[in-house]
Structure formats: structure tokens, C-alpha cells
Amino acid sequence: MVEIPKDLGFHVETPEVLDRTIENSLQLMEKHTRRMKEDYETYCRIGDERLRDTLAESMNSRLNKIAQSFKDIVSFIQIQNGDYGYDESLSSKVRYAQSNFDSDDDVDGILNLIKKRNDITHDYFNENQLNYELLKAMETYGEGLSKLVIILKEKCQLLDKTLKQKLPKKKK
């Protein structure tokens, strides 16, 4: 059995049950983004191949959770903007973000990673390829994850203010 050093930043938490809201989707995306960056930093520091493999799998799992949160949030944004089509695919959500959000190379790189993850995630023969793409993207575009969360938060906050302004005032 491998002894996991305590200084590697592993987190064990009591599971929390969350309602399915946009605020919670944003919080989950932010949490998994932060943890994925921590996992990547740890991956770069250690030499144990088994532990590195475990960290790569952890990052892969977090990418899946980030992708699902991203899909839910972009769907919300599309509905609120009246841009919602009938295509529920993750690829369509990435295309929407690429054409409607102001982003830089880091964010574009992360969006491409999410799209690529979607393309090869169901092909278990390409698992090593996905891990390689993920590590390469974290090295090159790692800050894009945090930037994407900020963009999504700003879009949702703007929509929330717009929705509140459109709601009728309560009568006294």
C-alpha cells in the first residue's frame, strides 16, 4: 500500500447535498477548477508514477464535473438570452461560448479541451490520449479555467440583475 504524504494537498470532505441551481453549479465549477489546479501542481512536484497516475485520473474526473457544470450554466445563459436551441450537446455549448463570450487564448484552450474531452471520453482506448491532452492543456492554458469561471459568473450575475429589473414590483 502506498503511503500518501499529508503535504501533497489531498482533501477529504464530508459530502454535501446541493440543490440544482445555477449558483451551486458555479460553486461546483469553481471548486473543481481550484482542486484541479492543485492536483496539477502536485503532479508536477512528485516523482511517484502511481501517485501521478492517480492525480491524472483525479484531474480527468474533475474535468468531467467541470464540463457538466459548464453545460448547465451555458444552457441557463442561452435560455435567459432567448438563444436556446434544441441541441443539448456539450459541443454546442462550447461553440456557443466560443462565439458569444469575450475570451483570450487561455479560455479558448480550455474550451477546446472541454470539446476534445467530449469527443474522446467515450472511447476508453483513448484514455491515455485524454490524460495527455489534459496535462498539456493545464500546462499551457491552466489559467483559462479560472478565467472561464469568472466569465460565466459575470454573465449569470448580469442576467440575474436583468431578470430582477424585469420582474414586477411587489405591491404594498
Query: What does the pLDDT read at residue 161?
Result: 72
Q: How many residues does the chain have?
A: 172
- Residue 35: count other Cβ atoms within 10 Å of its Cβ: 18
Q: Scanning the structure block, which residue is given the C-alpha cell 470539446?
A: 115
Mean pLDDT (whole number) for 49-72: 93
What own/partner pairs with CB < 8 Å and gap ≥ 24 does 122-126 have?
Answer: none
- Which sequence spans correspond to the domains of the chain? 21-156
- The pTM of the full predicted model, rounded to 2 decimals, is 0.81
pLDDT for residue 172 is more than 60: no
The overall average pLDDT reported for the chain is 84
Q: Scanning the structure block, which residue is given the C-alpha cell 485524454?
A: 130
List pLDDT tens digits, range 100-131. 999 999 999 999 999 888 776 666 667 788 88
Cell representation of residue 166: 424585469
pLDDT for residue 18 is more than 60: no
**How far is it, in rounded angstroms, from Cα 48 to Cα 25?**
34
